[in-house]
Structure 1
């Protein structure tokens, strides 16, 4: 029967010769701290391996994982910045278009009020329109909303 040692993963012939040590698990934060210390030249890989009682290869895997993770983070930040720039450009374009439409609307209101009578404009009001409320219609037509409800009384002759 062939078994594997947990520490070295080397095959051994009998269970009696297998080292009965448990693998120590390290959190991602601990691994990252080791990687950062090595990267900042605070300690060498060999010093950490001896201090933690693990193999140099294991620390090398941690370094690879940390480097890959940091690379993904940096790439993600670049993508976020690109997306932010795109959205800012879209917003600027939308704001510009909105400013133009607002100027056009103001011009139409002024021109309409100057070139048509109040009576003509009041005939254009659609009381049953659900898409454009009455207060919006009166604003666009430069009318006083309360004047739409006014009905002139018939003039009675004095006897």
Structure 2
């Protein structure tokens, strides 16, 4: 079985680093005395010395922390208002788009590659994507029959719907 990794408390680390800084014994002696790796002790010393300024001037570290906190809070507020504004605009536009017809909505979709995919555009407009590509086929015989019926109806307007359709 492997040995479990030991975690040392910050108080223990500080005690060893202070003992090392007093120069009463060497790094290797202190490490062997407490059964830890010398590299760990060297790293703790480096970290301790790098952060010693914070111990002497805690107000500076707190001030920097508070400034960063205030800055991030302002940015958060700005982004929150921006998201709210965009949400309101989107809801307003979606209500206005309902009044257009489905054929007009389909014309708004940009099929060329753009920032929004076709699928996302259809989702925003509330249009079925499958309806975009459908082209209705024209039945020419029905078209000619309809033209003939309207021509007859224009020539003899007294014919009603039933009479017009029985002529053809």
User: Structure 2-normalised TM-score?
Assistant: 0.49
Partner Cα separation in structure 2 for residue 67 and residue 105 of structure 1:
53
Offset, 1:101: 0.9
Note the 1:1-159 alignment, pairs <5 A: 28-30=17-19, 68-114=53-99, 116-155=100-139, 157=141
Change (3 A) 1:103 1:94: same
How many residue pairs match? The answer is: 100
Q: Secondary structure at the match of 1:144?
A: coil
Structure 1 stretches of at least 4 aligned residues deviating more than 4 Å after TM superposition: 66-69
CA contact 2:54–2:61 (8 Å) conserved in 1: no
Q: Structure 1 residues 32 and 146 mapped into 2: Cα distance closer, same or farther (>3 Å)?
A: farther
User: How far has the Cα of 1:69 moved from its partner?
Assistant: 4.6
Query: Aligned equivalents of 1:78 and 1:31: distance in 2?
Result: 31
Name the CA shift for 1:69/1:139 in 2 (closer, same or farther; >3 Å): closer
Gaps of 5+ in 2: 1-14, 23-50, 143-168
Instruction: Compute the displacement of 1:83 (Å).
Output: 0.5
Residue in structure 2 matched with residue 22 of structure 1 by the alignment = none
Cα RMSD (Å): 3.1
**TM-aligned CA deviation for residue 85 of structure 1:** 2.0
